[in-house]
Amino acid sequence: MGRIPCCEKDNVKRGQWTPEEDNKLSSYIAQHGTRNWRLIPKNAGLQRCGKSCRLRWTNYLRPDLKHGQFSDTEEQTIVKLHSVVGNRWSLIAAQLPGRTDNDVKNHWNTKLKKKLSGMGIDPVTHKPFSHLMAEIATTLAPPQVAHLAEAALGCFKDEMLHLLTKKRIDFQFQQSGIAPGTLQQPLTLQVIKTKRTIRLRRSN
DNA sequence: AAACGATTCAACCGCTACTAA
DNA sequence: CTTAGTAGCGGTTGAATCGTT
């Protein structure tokens, strides 16, 4: 048993769309509109799943879409709205004419998250990391803090091992010792992991 | 110049919400 | 009210591209 597939996967093309396919889809929609996505590929002469056609249209082919860089104003809007509604990408995109939920999501995940972290702001809660650490220290009892610290250190160890293997910086450590400030980045990671652990605990 | 890792973003997957019968 | 079909959403993946060594 299982879920009924939305289309016959064997007869369906996947992956990147060609300009020819784009043309077929665009001209079909221009003539007939976007009612019943299941029938659109068949009627438009496309070997694609209806879902794939809908996605291609809504995220790329729609004539009212913007394709360029996000402006500062748009970024500010995303950050502001995200602090209120969280990962409700379609809700956020609805406030940005010409942008899709996929655009907003991608931009958040690749740029804005890092930007906020770099400013010392947690991209999930939109609070400064220092506040979060203070919250953890004041709201939890010492055994919980100890447990959290242990979990966080475990994550930190994994992260560090990965880093050491990747960058081969263990050699540099041996050669020069740990320079002041070297641990800043991993400590930031530690804070992120600690927060993640708290979130998981709360959701359970 | 080549190899490798990091980044970006289009596309896919699986789930939920909605709607019509 | 129930059920089946469809649309929409958010998370994830992977190919293409870029940057670094």
Whether A137 and A199 share a structural domain: yes
Residues A142, A87 share a domain: no
- Angle, helix A184-203 to helix A129-139, in steps of 10 degrees: 50
Give the per-residue pLDDT at A179: 34
> Strand C closer than 7 Å to the CB of A89?
yes
**Domain termination site, one of A38, A61, A84:** A61
Strand, coil or helix: A16 = coil
Average pLDDT over chain A, rounded to an integer: 73
Q: Provide the CATH number for the domain around residue A85.
A: 1.10.10.60
| Strand C bases within 7 angstroms of protein beta carbons | 5-12, 15-16
Examine residue A124 and state whether it is found in any structural domain, yes or no.
no
A104 shares its domain with A50: no
What is the spatial distance between Cα A95 and Cα A78, in angstroms, rounded to a whole number? Answer: 9
CA distance readout (Å), A94 to A89, A90, A143, A195: 8, 6, 45, 30
The whole-number Å distance from A146's CA to C20's C1' is: 40
- Token look-up 């010792």 returns A177
Protein residue closest to C9, using CA and C1': A90
Distance A180 CA to B16 C1' (A): 50
What does the pLDDT read at residue A152?
Answer: 59
**What pLDDT, on a 0 to 100 scale, did the predictor assign at position A175?**
37
Contact A48, A9 (CB under 8 A): no
Do the Cβ atoms of A66 and A74 come closer than 8 Å? Answer: no
Flag whether A195 is in a domain: yes
Nucleic acid strand B within 7 Å of A35 CB: no
Judged on CB neighbours under 10 Å (0-12, 13-18, 19+), A82 is buried
DSSP A165-187: HHH-THHHHHHH-PPTTTTHHHH
The answer to whether A194 and A136 are in contact (CB under 8 A) is: yes
In a domain, A2, yes or no: no
Q: Please check whether strand B approaches the CB of A176 to within 7 Å.
A: no
Last-in-domain residue among A50, A85, A118 = A118
State the pLDDT at residue A135: 76
Q: How many CA atoms lie within 13 A of A84 on its CB side?
A: 7
| Number of domain units in chain A | 3
Instruction: Please check whether residue A1 lies inside any domain of the structure.
Output: no
Which residues constitute the domain of residue A32? 9-61
A196 against A11, higher pLDDT: A11
Same domain flag for A88 and A30: no
Q: Which nucleotide is nearest to A54 (CA to C1')?
A: C7
Residue with more model confidence, A142 or A31 = A31
